């Protein structure tokens, strides 16, 4: 049994190679997009959840994607080899995959890194039929930067495990498929040994090296905040409170995503194209939405950011965005709530499908039962608000987002605020923290 993964930027030919190799070596082809589409078509429980997220204009959470991958792997016969295409794409997913393979008696034999220069990406994208709205050079350039920022740690993870193979993917699909097939033959024969050449190691080291930020000259005073917390910690409610107290916009990534989809902006059309193909919307689209939103006139005096960043690569992307605006994040407020309290909270949570205002049957009930106070829409309860799913989401939160918390702690920007108790009580604690921030 052989298990391998293909990793590479857009237009590297991963999917075409995967199709050929799976037929040649009798491997099961497993890609994130394929798994999402299959679950939606077959109307599995996970597929129905995915459709509801998409219909509400929301990004599909990682917990659902990981659950789909896990379910697909566990369904395979033990003797069936596997070729992963585009997964893992983050360091958290790489660790998740190792845990999953260990639990299912598998081992990832090799990660094949298909690398092509930016000029080749532009050339191939220009020939793609039908053309895509995100095949513009400026968008592709940003996409490649985000890909390298996110995938660099994944490649380093497998380099340290001596499972990474670098392959130049600039040649014809026949040549690239042949090079990959030669590696798979070595794995099959038991003679495979992963080793990067010196120039390949240097290239990866360059990807991992963060540019030294220049000195930022703050052009005007502003109050730029991030509110973070686990699912169900109340960050949306408390972010809205802070925004109203200081007359700055509350910028939630979920609302921003829906706005771009609903208004048919260029970024919304790009996101819609991925959704219609049954694929995940990539990070660079979300980052571009954040960049555009923070540059609007109403955010010049500050903002409260909710839902971004969630990962270290996104955290570093936000640093770049703020530097371009000649601003800095003032403080990061982390709402700390015990896991079991979060599970109990979410069990009573209801949302407005139109404005996404959150309610809770015990802590924050609507004035009229089952009706949004703001727009009168009937409230709904999310299908994934079960204790089991919530605990899985909390696990992913810890794996992905706690490194971000530590990043801001090291930068002396972090304020931890107990998020338990009544909403008014937590708001009072937040105001006390804000006095410290304003003094700084």
Annotate the chain with three-state secondary structure.
CCEEEEECCCCCCHHHHHHHHHHHHCEEEEEHHHHHHHHHHCCCHHHHHHHHHHHCCCCCCHHHHHHHHHHHHHHCCCCCEEEEECCCCCHHHHHHHHHHHHHCCCCCCEEEEEECCHHHHHHHHHCCCCCCCCCCHHHHHHHHHHHHHHHHHHHHHHHHCCCEEEEECCCCHHHHHHHHHHHHHHHHHCCCCCCCCHHHHHHHHHHHCCCCCCCCCCCCCCEEEEEEECCCCCHHHHHHHHHHHHCCCEEEHHHHHHHHHHHCCHHHHHHHHHHHCCCCCCHHHHHHHHHHHHCCHHHCCEEEEECCCCCHHHHHHHHHHHHHCCCCCCEEEEEECCHHHHHHHHHCEEECCCCCCEEECCCECCCCCCECCCCCCECECCCCCCHHHHHHHHHHHHHHHHHHHHHHHHCCCEEEEECCCCHHHHHHHHHHHHHHHHHC
Q: Establish if 354 belongs to a structural domain.
A: no
Q: Which residues are catalytic?
A: 235, 310, 349, 382, 393
- Give the pLDDT score at 110: 96
Q: Which domain holds residue 34?
A: 3-208
Instruction: Verify that 18 and 157 share a domain, yes or no.
Output: yes
- What pTM does this model have? 0.84
Q: Establish if 107 belongs to a structural domain.
A: yes
Q: For residue range 220-243, what is the model confidence (pLDDT) as tens digits?
A: 689 999 999 998 899 999 999 999
Q: How many domains does one find in the chain? A: 2
The arithmetic mean of pLDDT across residues 146-151, rounded, is 92
| CATH code assigned at 264 | 3.40.50.300
Does 57 have pLDDT greater than 70?
no
Does 212 have pLDDT greater than 60?
no
The arithmetic mean of pLDDT across residues 189-204, rounded, is 93
Instruction: Verify that 190 and 278 share a domain, yes or no.
Output: no
Does 247 have pLDDT greater than 80?
yes
The mean of the pLDDT values for the chain is: 90
Instruction: Verify that 239 and 198 share a domain, yes or no.
Output: no
Instruction: Verify that 29 and 97 share a domain, yes or no.
Output: yes
- Give the pLDDT score at 419: 94
Least confident interval from 57-66, 306-315, 334-343, 406-415: 57-66
Domain boundary among 184, 208, 232: 208
Q: For residue range 321-354, what is the model confidence (pLDDT) as tens digits?
A: 999 899 999 999 999 999 989 988 887 888 898 8
Q: Establish if 379 belongs to a structural domain.
A: no
């Amino acid at each position: 049994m052989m298990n391998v993964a293909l990793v590479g930027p857009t237009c590297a030919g991963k999917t075409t190679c995967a199709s050929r190799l799976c037929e040649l070596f009798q491997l099961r082809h497993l890609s994130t997009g394929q798994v999402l589409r299959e679950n939606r078509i077959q109307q599995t429980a996970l597929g129905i959840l995915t459709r509801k997220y998409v219909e509400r204009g929301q990004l599909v959470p990682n917990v659902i994607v990981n659950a789909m991958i896990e379910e697909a792997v566990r369904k395979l016969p033990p003797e069936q080899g596997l070729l992963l295409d585009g997964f893992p794409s983050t360091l958290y997913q790489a660790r998740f995959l190792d845990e999953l393979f260990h639990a299912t008696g598998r081992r990832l034999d090799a990660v094949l890194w298909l690398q092509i220069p930016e000029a080749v990406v532009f050339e191939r994208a220009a020939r793609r039929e039908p053309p895509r709205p995100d095949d513009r050079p400026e968008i592709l350039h940003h996409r490649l930067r985000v890909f390298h920022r996110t995938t660099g740690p994944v490649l380093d993870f497998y380099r340290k495990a001596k499972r990474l193979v670098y392959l130049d993917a600039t040649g014809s699909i026949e040549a690239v498929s042949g090079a990959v097939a030669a590696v798979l033959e070595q794995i099959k024969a038991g003679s495979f040994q992963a080793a990067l050449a010196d120039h390949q190691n240097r290239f990866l080291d360059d990807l991992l090296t963060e540019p030294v930020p220049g000195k930022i000259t703050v052009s005007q005073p502003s109050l730029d905040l991030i509110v973070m917390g686990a699912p169900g910690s109340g960050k949306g409610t408390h972010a809205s409170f802070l925004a109203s107290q200081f007359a700055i916009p509350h910028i939630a990534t979920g609302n921003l995503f829906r706005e771009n989809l609903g208004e048919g902006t260029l970024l919304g059309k790009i996101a819609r194209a991925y959704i219609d193909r049954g694929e995940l919307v990539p990070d660079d689209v979300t980052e571009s939405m954040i960049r555009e939103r923070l540059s609007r006139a109403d955010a010049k005096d500050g903002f409260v950011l909710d839902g971004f960043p969630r990962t270290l690569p996104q955290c570093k992307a936000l640093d770049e965005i703020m530097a371009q605006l000649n601003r800095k994040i003032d403080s990061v407020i982390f709402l700390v709530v015990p896991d079991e309290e979060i599970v109990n909270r979410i069990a009573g949570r209801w949302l407005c499908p139109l404005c996404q205002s959150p309610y809770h049957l015990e802590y924050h009930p609507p004035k009229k039962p089952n009706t949004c106070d703001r727009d009168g829409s009937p409230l709904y309860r999310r299908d994934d608000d079960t204790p089991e799913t919530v605990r899985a989401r909390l696990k992913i939160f810890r794996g992905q987002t706690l490194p971000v918390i530590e990043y801001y702690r090291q930068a002396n920007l972090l304020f931890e605020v107990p998020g338990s108790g009544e909403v008014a009580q937590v708001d009072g604690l937040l105001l006390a923290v804000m006095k410290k921030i304003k003094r700084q």
